[in-house]
Amino acid sequence: MITGFLGLLCTLIFLVVGIYTNTIYNCIRRVYINDGSEGDKNENLKEYKQAPGPIPWPFIGNLALLSKFKVPLQGLTQLSEELGDIYSLTLGTRRCLVVSSLNLIREVLNQKGKFFGGRPNFLRYHKLFGGDRNNSLALSDWSSLQQKRRNLARRHCSPRNSSLLFTKMSNVACYEVCVFMNALRERLSPHGECEIKSLIQQTSANMFLQYMCSIRFDYNDNDFKKVVECFDEIFWDINKGYALDFLPWLAPFYKKHLNTIVGWSTAIRKFIIERIISQREHMIDVSEPEQDFADALLKNSIEDKSVSRDTIIYMLEDFIGGHSAIGNLLMAAFAHIVHNQDVAKKIQAEADEISSHGRRIINIYDMEKMPYTMATISEVLRFSSSPIVPHVATEDTVVAGYGITKDTIVIINNYKLNRSAQYWENPDFFQPERFLENTNIEKSEMVAKRRNSEGSDSGIEFDKEDLAVFKKNSTKHRSSTQISNMSSSKRTPRLKKNIPHFLPFGIGKRTCIGQSLVRGFGFVLLANILQRFNVSSCNLSSVETIPACIALPPKTFSLQFRFRNIY
């Protein structure tokens, strides 16, 4: 009995020592990279130390350092004050690198992007996508399939301003926002209150569904309601950090939660197959022009045998799920507006002018003409500072002269980028004006040229055709107003388009695919709702956003909507 116990103890000690030795080895391991010169490969290897960082504890690594912060990115920002803009951490037993400055973020995501195309192997990610995170666009490692999926999605998710798809996006958004207005009227309490989040999510979901699958669902359809709730739960969950991600041995304690995640994703998949895909896949005719994104995907799976039916279903799920981000973004926008009523007034002034005091619905083509409203969306994105899914080094490499070992998780600290006085004046104030500039036409042309030559560093896709339209409009504007306007002091505000340190959608090869949809649908919702309603709250202290997070809990604050007297 005693020998048995001693044997167990020895095995345990041996295990602990073994694991900890491995953790320490991972911290001190050097990286050897060929310096590029000719000759014997081994002789030309240059040695690189890893970035500095605190010594890890057994099993938990440096997790305790973050445990005192409610928001991990705030903790990482505070650590960067001591350790610098590039430092190493060990979270659990996983080696991590935290980068917090614009130049370093650019180096990781842009210049060295090909070495950082992986995503972390978190258990939660697998559970969300049928047991394999590579089924997901955002959570998969980089691969030729991923490239193919991105290419397939590009035309539909980033339609050109001059395209028919852009018109479809606009029409769909306008139609759905009208349905929303009616539904909202029915749901308002006598005091004008409404638990608005679920309705906004349903509206946003229907915009996506109509645009991508040419189908919409009634707001009273219980299956639809349930599925929209599941998407929102997942969005909330994925935006939270869990100790489990770095300490997988905690899995038995998270069993219930992991089963809940599987339940949400199974319900979504069932809905997509039964209510969207099944009728369509039998009717698909590859010789006919594609009707929408779902058509494009289904046709592709027939024509390209390397793209399976499952891939198509997961892709649809991923993209339709994008609606949750927009619903949450809008809720965050309302939260700020409720506390800053002057922002609401300025949006309303733009909205009244564009819509002739509500005589028409504001559409996506009005975005250019409502710079303050667009600036508000940018400010919500800056303020919320949505975390970037971590990247993973796929081979040994070097950043800023430090060696990065294969499988290191790279945490992009965009919170510091968005909320530091180094980059922004009064960073903790909500000020959409920071995204506006008073510009004359010469300057706008210069910006357009610069952006075209620099590429889409801010992740904003800007192709040649858009540039041509943009330039044509600028020239048209100049000939009609003549240069006299330039000499007069009247200048119109314009949205600043190339702020190098503003990267809400990431940069590089894994940049967000949904940014045009975010701007377009987000704009139509925000502009039209504020054109019709004054938004406030009976309980101002309940209306809060969460730092370094675009998501709000599925059950969150209610808001008060009062019709505006606009005529």
Binding positions for heme: 512
Q: Are 423 and 501 in contact (CB under 8 A)?
A: yes
Which residue in 411, 512, 535, 552 binds ligand HEM (CB under 6 A)? 512
The CB-of-322 to ligand HEM minimum distance in angstroms stands at 3
Pairing of strands 94-99, 533-536: unpaired
| Cβ at position 413, least distance to ligand HEM in Å | 12
As measured in angstroms, the least distance from the Cβ of 107 to ligand HEM is 13
User: Which of 75, 327, 403, 514 touches ligand HEM by CB under 6 A?
Assistant: 514
109 touches ligand HEM (CB under 6 A):
yes
By beta-carbon proximity to ligand HEM, the closer residue of 29 and 150 is 150
| Cβ(286)–Cβ(303) below 8 Å | yes
Q: Which CB, 371 or 520, lies closer to ligand HEM?
A: 520
For 49, list phi and psi in degrees, rounded to 5: -80, 155
In terms of CB distance, is 169 or 354 closer to ligand HEM? 169
Does position 505 bind ligand HEM by CB under 6 A?
yes
Q: At closest approach, how far in Å is the CB of 105 from ligand HEM?
A: 9
CA-nearest of 214, 177, 181 to 520 is: 177
91 binds ligand HEM (CB under 6 A): no
**What is the distance between the alpha carbons of residues 531 and 424, in angstroms, rounded to a whole number?**
30
What is the token pair recorded at 160?
């050109």
Smallest separation (angstroms) from ligand HEM to the CB of 481:
35
Which range of residues in 37-45, 61-69, 290-298, 316-324 is near ligand HEM by CB under 6 A? Answer: 316-324
Distance CA(174)–CA(156), nearest Å, equals: 18
Nearer to ligand HEM, 31 or 388 (CB): 388
Contact of 116 with 411, CB cutoff 8 Å: no
Judge contact between 533 and 540, C-beta under 8 A. Answer: no
Structure tokens at 144: 């030729």
Among 209, 518, 529, 552, binds ligand HEM (CB under 6 A): 518
Is residue 330 involved in binding ligand HEM (CB under 6 A)? Answer: no
User: Residue 236 Cβ, how far from ligand HEM at the closest point, in Å?
Assistant: 13
- Residue 362 is a binding residue for ligand HEM (CB under 6 A): no
Q: Which of 62, 210, 386, 528 binds ligand HEM (CB under 6 A)?
A: 386
Q: Which residues contact 552 (CB under 8 A, 6 or more apart)?
A: 197, 236, 328, 331, 332, 335, 545, 546
Which of 388, 524, 546, 548 touches ligand HEM (CB under 6 A)?
Answer: 388
Q: Does 504 bind ligand HEM (CB under 6 A)?
A: yes
Pick from 97, 550, 551, 559 the residue near ligand HEM by CB under 6 A.
550
**Whole-angstrom distance, CA of residue 65 vs CA of residue 551:** 24
Q: Give the contacts of 379 (CB within 8 A, at least 6 positions apart).
A: 336, 430, 431, 432, 434, 435
Q: Which helix (H) or strand (E) holds 233?
A: helix 222-238
The yes or no reply on residue 513 touching ligand HEM (CB under 6 A) is yes
Backbone angles phi, psi at 485, to 5 degrees: -60, -30
Stretch that binds ligand HEM, among 85-93, 417-425, 499-507, 539-547 (CB under 6 A): 499-507
Q: How far from 46 is each of 93, 114, 397, 401, 405, CA to CA, in Å?
A: 27, 20, 11, 11, 14
Question: What six digits make up the tokens of 123?
Answer: 């258990």
Strands (DSSP E) found in 10-126: 31-34, 45-48, 86-91, 94-99
Strands (E), 86-174: 86-91, 94-99
Q: Rounded to whole angstroms, how far apart are CA atoms 335 and 545?
A: 7
The smaller minimum CB distance to ligand HEM, of residues 169 and 298, is found at: 169
Q: Which one of residues 180, 246, 319, 557 is an interface residue with ligand HEM (CB under 6 A)?
A: 319
Closest-by-Cβ residue to ligand HEM is 514
CB of 377 to ligand HEM, least distance (A): 9
Here's the x/- map for ligand HEM, 124-163, by CB under 6 A: it reads as -------------xx-----------x------x------
Question: How many residues does this entry show for the chain?
Answer: 567
Q: Are 458 and 398 in contact (CB under 8 A)?
A: no
Binding site for ligand HEM (CB under 6 A): 109, 137-138, 150, 157, 318-319, 322, 325-326, 329, 381, 386, 388-389, 504-506, 508, 510-514, 517-518, 550
